[in-house]
C-alpha cells in the first residue's frame, strides 16, 4: 500500500474492490477507514466496493458533501433490477433472497 500511495499524483483515482474482506468486520472496517480517510485528505478520488457495513455506514453518517453511496436496487417485493442507485448502506446483501429465488428452485444442478 505504501508503494501505491507514494506513486499517486494529485486528483488520482484509487479503486478498492472488497479490500480487507478477509479480516473480521471490525478490524477490516477500521483499517479501511484509516486508509480511505488518508487518501481523501490528500484530495484523491476513492471508489470502494465493500460489504463491510461498519465502514460504509460510518462514512455515510458523516454526510460528506462529495461522497456518493450506491447500492444494488431492490424493489419492495424483492425483485432486483441489476441497477446501481444512490442509497444508504444496508446490513444485508440479501443473499438468502438470491438463494431462495426462483432460479435456484428450478435449476437442475446436476445438468448443464
57, 62, 65, 69: CA torsion to nearest 10: 0
Give the start-to-end residue ranges of the domains of the chain: 2-106
Counting Cα atoms < 13 Å in the Cβ hemisphere of 30 gives: 4
What is the value of pTM for the model shown?
0.75
Per-residue pLDDT of the chain (112 residues; tens, 9 = 90+): 788 888 999 889 999 999 998 999 999 999 999 999 999 998 899 999 999 999 999 999 999 888 999 998 888 887 888 899 999 998 876 666 666 665 555 555 555 5
Amino acid at each position: 500500500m505504501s508503494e501505491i500511495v507514494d506513486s499517486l499524483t494529485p486528483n488520482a483515482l484509487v479503486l478498492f474492490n472488497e479490500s480487507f474482506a478477509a479480516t473480521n468486520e471490525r478490524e477490516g472496517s477500521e483499517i479501511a477507514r484509516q486508509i480511505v480517510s488518508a487518501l481523501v485528505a490528500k484530495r484523491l478520488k476513492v471508489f470502494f466496493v465493500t460489504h463491510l457495513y461498519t465502514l460504509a455506514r460510518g462514512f455515510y453518517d458523516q454526510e460528506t458533501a462529495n461522497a456518493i453511496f450506491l447500492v444494488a436496487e431492490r424493489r419492495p417485493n424483492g425483485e432486483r433490477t441489476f441497477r446501481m442507485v444512490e442509497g444508504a448502506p444496508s446490513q444485508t446483501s440479501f443473499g438468502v433472497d438470491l438463494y431462495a429465488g426462483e432460479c435456484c428452485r428450478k435449476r437442475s444442478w446436476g445438468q448443464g
